[in-house]
Structures are given as structure tokens and as C-alpha cells.
Structure 1
């Protein structure tokens, strides 16, 4: 299984050991036990967050909506996408037989077509900045995995990664323009973010930087305030 799946399985290992120290069967080989442990863990996680005034309810609601969205409009009348949702072309059960590229992006605008269908404008980092697709042509994409940086905290969303790239690149440009030494940590963060974002989206790191060039320049040299 992918590394992040193994990390989740290891967390469940620990939770099972704490909850059922004498249970001889592992959740890894018992789907029923795994479901019950996950259900219990999520409930306890929500209580833990409430006691510490941490807001995870929007995340739980988003996960529920993603499950609905994967079924498509034929399966759920609540089918919808929201601004910022991370999406990809809808895949056939046995893989994509239509030959659509395997890209991922996020929704930057929502509108209605003349025949009343919901239409999304999707930005695919490093590939396309304004692709127009109906909601029926899309499904939720796997989220960008959390990425710790040295100069900008932890990045957990593709749109956040793009904005962080702009912010870091703008800071580096301003520093260079003022004759300051390059911040090597910021430079490493920039490279790591563009690599991770391009691997997620299906684009190329240099294409991401080209697409963001104007926004970086505007951020580095904002117009004077009146």
C-alpha cells in the first residue's frame, strides 16, 4: 500500500492496542473490526477536537460530500461541487477508457450552462488555467498530502500550495531587488512545493512557475495605494 496508507494503518494499530490490548486479531485482516475501529476513532477525534476548540467539522462534512459527489448526479440529488474543491475527470469503474489525461485541479468558478447544467472552471496547476467542465464530468480527487515547509508552515491543499508558491517567490524577488542574500530555506521550499504540486496535478514544475509568473510579479511589486 502507499506510504500514507501505511501511516493510517499504523495509527489504527496503535488505537486498537490502546482500546483492545488483549484482542488477538488485527484490523488489517478483519474488515469488520477495521470499520468499527475507524468509526470509534472518528467519534473520539471529533470529541477531542471539541474539547480543545479545534474545528474539524467542516472537514468531516467535506468528506461526506465527496462521497456523495463520487456517485455523480444519477446517484444523489445533492450532487454538487464547491469553490476550491479538488477534482479530476470522472473515471470509469475499470479505469478511464475515454483516454482523458490523468490530471487533478481545483475549482475556481461556478456557473450554469444555457441548458441549466452546473459548470465548473478548473485550474490544473502546470497544465491549464481555465478548463470548463460540467459537474457530471468531474469527481473528487485525492487531496494533496500535507507538506511541511520551513518558511510557510504546513500546506494541505492544492490551492494553498499555489498561493504559497506565489508568496515565497514574491519574497525572494523583493529580497533580490533589495540586494539581500537569498534565503536558502525559502528557495528549497519553493522547489519542494512546485515538485509536489506538479506531481499531484499531472503538470510540470516549470509550467507551474510560468503560469504563476504574472501573479508573482504583481505580489512582489504591488501597485501604490492611492
Structure 2
């Protein structure tokens, strides 16, 4: 008897040099590519499950995930619906540990793009602003009382104001520079200000 999920065998894929691209198309006809190393491709072909790009609202990103049917695999990975990045690192992450996709492509599951990090670092190293952000720039908000743009970031667990600006783009650039200064490699990425210089900084008094 066919089991639920057996109608979807292992995905189509393509090998380019030392990287495999696993293809997935969702019900909206959106196409995704999941990247893995060749030894992982061989393992996934062997266990013969279908992989999909699952959207996680909290992270606003897609992650490679499957539904396991084999009882041994379910026991080994301690879940019926494992994420591929956790399977690859065989991660039994602690409460304050997460797997970080270094280049921010959460469907790129090559080992070179995965590292176990803390929740603090993983949260710092994200793309874009919060969903309720009105400025269009991460760490920039509007102060209604002062009628000015404010840059604030988390330092040692505390929201800290670092500057005030009349121009929102200047505030956005300053915020990006402050993330680089205080967060280092976990600052997140942005190409908005590649050739932009800010002026007329109004620092917090």
C-alpha cells in the first residue's frame, strides 16, 4: 500500500562541478533550488524522500524540509519532519544554539555555508528590518516627539540609541556601520549603501 508522501519521489536535480542543485516547485508554481554537497546528494537519493522549500514566517525564509516515513530515520533524527541543514550537521543543538547559513541563502546547505552559533549571533546576523519597521531600514525608527529618525541597536541585551538624523537614508547607512562595528561578521548583509557616504550626523546627546 502506498504511504502518504510516496507519490512524491526524490526530486529532480542537477550536478554542477562539486555542487548539486535539487529542484522543487510548490503549489503556486514557484521554483526553488536547494544546494548540497555531492556526498549529501548521494545520501538523499539513497533514503529517497521528497524535499520541499518550507516557509518559516518568523525567519521570513525558506528552508529545505522533508517528511520521513522510515521509523529508523525518524528515531535517528528525533523528528518526522527534519530540516536538511540539521540533518547535514547531525545537530542536536542546545537551547541557545542555532545553525546559521553564512551567506543568508537558507536553501544553500553546503557544509561550507553552515555553522552552529548562538541564538544571539543568529538573530543579529539577519537580513532586512523587522516586519513592523516603517523606515525601510533595519535599526532605524521615527521619534514622534523629536520628529527625527533614530538609530538604535541591541548592545548587551539593551536597546541603545546611537544617533539621530534628519535624513532617513543617512540614518540607514549609520545603522549599517554600527552593526559592523558592534556585531562584526554577524551584522547581516545589505548592498544599499555600497557607494553612499552620510553627512550631518546628529549624535545622541
Q: Which TM-score band (shorter chain)?
A: under 0.3
TM-score by length of 1: 0.26
Point out which structure has higher relative CO (alpha carbons under 8 A, 6+ apart).
Answer: 1
TM-score by length of 2: 0.28
The structure with the largest strand share of the pair is 2
The structure with the largest helix share of the pair is 1
